[in-house]
Amino acid sequence: MDVLVVGAGAIGGYYGGRLAQAGARVSVVARSDYSVVVREGIRIESPAGDFHFRPDRVLHKAEDLGRYPDVILVGLKVLKHIRPAELLRAAVGPKTALLFIQNGVDVERPVAEAFPDNEILSGLAFICVHRTAPGCVLHQDYGRLVLGRYPEGTSSRAEKLAEMFRRAGVPCEVTPNVVTARWHKLVWNAPFNPMSVLCGGANTSEMLGHDETARLVRAVMEEVCAVASAAGHALPDDVVERMITDTRKMTPYKTSMLLDYEAGRPMEVEAILGNAVRIARRLGVHVPRMETLYALMCGLSQKS
């Protein structure tokens, strides 16, 4: 399988490296890390075993590949100034599948509209991972992937990718309901990401270690479940309790939004909160806590 990774940061570097371990030919588009990745590749520190990923080719732009890959894995942040369709267009052939491993809900639609004849695969990464330096990725915990065809269904390409990820030690399942899976992940992201910033740099353990913040985490999770249900993507009754229990067990973790804030980078406020709030308003679902977090994060984003 010929794979091009666009967005070779923590997500792209880790999962691209795992596909290379499984035997794929993996090239990467690197921006700020270009010279380091050309010289040294990408080093991944992981509790499952450290490894060194040397891409087949390191590129400035997707079109520099000079051929149409089988799969383009997109690990870019979901931000207003990043337009994936424009970045990918010259590298997308008639049989190229686009795999998006990104946060948030309703993030695939613009690309699906731009490439109506290509297979769009949506992926969710349940992982604690971040980039520590140019060409260096720290994988702290978890790593499971859920893949599915957007907006619904499965495919032979999705099954093949899942098989390759599993071969490299990544738990991976294919779901026919990937949009529901996105809402499932948002149950965790919607409280923990913005609250980690608004609580002054709190990690997951600290947020759950105080009664009031733990209560707010639970309330926001319940609001996400209500919106998901109204949107036709009802989640299991025990999803909130299971997520809180699992988060208490995991290594204390600084969220991706907090790391972006501390580094002075734009944050994924719209993908993680804004889209869900707009869907709630359209469906008439009352989400006062989500709206409050969204308003505060918008204000903070404008100030930073």
Catalytic residue ranges: 185
The SS3 assignment for 263 reads coil
Nearest to 193 by CA among 265, 270, 257: 257
Nearest to 79 by CA among 48, 107, 113, 54: 107
If you write DSSP's letter for every residue of 2-37 in order, what string do you get?
EEEEESTTHHHHHHHHHHHHTT-EEEEE-STTHHHH
Q: Which residues of 79-108 are buried (b: 16+ CB within 10 A; e: fewer)?
A: eeeeebeebbeebbeeebbbbbbbbbbbbb
User: How remote is the C-alpha of 157 from its chain's centroid?
Assistant: 20
Nearest to 178 by CA among 143, 151, 145, 159: 151
Residue 75 to residues 3, 19, 53, 268: CA-CA distances in angstroms? 13, 14, 16, 13
**Helix extents (H) in the chain:** 10-21, 34-40, 84-88, 109-114, 156-167, 178-198, 204-208, 211-230, 239-249, 256-262, 269, 275-283, 288-303
- Is the backbone of residue 157 left (phi > 0), alpha (psi -120 to 50) or beta? alpha
Write the DSSP symbol of residue 109: H
Backbone angles phi, psi at 131, to 5 degrees: -85, 125
The SS3 assignment for 303 reads helix
